[in-house]
Amino acid sequence: METITFAWLLVILTATSPAVKAKYYSGSHIIDVPTTMKETHLHFFMHDILSGNNPFSVLVAKPKNTVVKEGNVGPFGAVYVFDDPLTEGPDPKSKVIGNARGLYASVSRGSDATLLFNGDLEFTSGEFNGSSISVVSRDPLVLVKEVAVVGGRGKFRMAKGFSLINAVFVNITSGDAILEWHVTLFHQ
Ligand SMILES: *[C@@H]1O[C@H](CO)[C@@H](O)[C@H](O)[C@H]1NC(C)=O
Ligand SMILES: *[C@@H]1O[C@H](CO)[C@@H](O)[C@H](O)[C@H]1NC(C)=O
């Protein structure tokens, strides 16, 4: 009986659909927001390597008539795309536990070199294999800084948090850097 009703409903909907104006939104309804969230801390190292024949970060655009000096993030407006390995330890040969993929752009017109970091950091091993965090944040080129975690996927759904970032290695000639991340997350 229910099946028949459902079938009729489908027929009616199909028949009337051309006349129905499409909407880009659904009706709003009250939801129960979970009152408990999980807190998770992550600790890993990101290898942002621009030098060599197989760089992890590449310049893809810059304003006309500007030059990128070696070891400089480039003029205001320069854009880089990166696919950086994440490892357990600071040594590039230590165990890879994920990758950071995204883009960063040089967004300061002043002498305070600043990037906008826009990346998805996905983990490829352990408890959070396949889960990721989304980072969208101002990223000043200083040795110690904080970036905002604005979301996540998988086990990190609805994540909010921040990461303290500490540069453990910087080559000012090539721009290569190894960055230590200490992430604090609240998620479902
Ligand atoms: C991570 O998940 C992928 C996809 O499910 C799987 O192929 C891979 O073996 C897993 N890796 C580890 C280290 O658990
Ligand atoms: C820094 O980068 C330059 C240019 O790529 C390279 O010649 C030099 O060996 C690097 N120094 C270190 C300590 O990695």
Q: What is the pLDDT of residues 129-165, one digit of tens each?
A: 999 999 999 999 999 999 999 999 999 999 999 999 9
- Taking the centre of ligand 2 as the mean of its atom positions, its distance from the CA of residue 159, in whole angstroms, is 37
Pocket of ligand 2 (CB under 6 A): 51, 171, 173-174
Biggest CA–CA distance in the chain, Å, is: 75
Mutate to test the pocket of ligand 1, among 128, 129, 153, 155 (most ligand atoms within 8 A of CB): 129
CB 129 less than 6 A from any atom of ligand 1: yes
Q: Rounded to whole angstroms, what are the CA distances from 37 to 76, 129, 153?
A: 40, 20, 15
**CATH number of domain containing 116:** 2.40.480.10
Can you give the residue range of the structural domain that contains 52?
A: 37-187
Does the residue 28 lie in any domain? no
Tell me how many domains the chain contains: 1
Q: Which ligand is nearest to the CA of 52?
A: 2
Is 122 within the bounds of a domain? yes
Q: Is residue 57 part of a domain?
A: yes
pLDDT tens-digit profile of 33-88? 877 999 999 999 999 999 999 999 999 999 999 988 776 778 999 999 999 999 99
What's the rounded Cα separation, in Å, for the pair 168 and 80? 21
Q: Nearest ligand to the C-alpha of residue 95?
A: 1
Report in angstroms the alpha-carbon separations of 68 from 7, 54, 109, 156: 64, 19, 14, 37
How far is it, in rounded angstroms, from Cα 155 to Cα 33?
A: 17
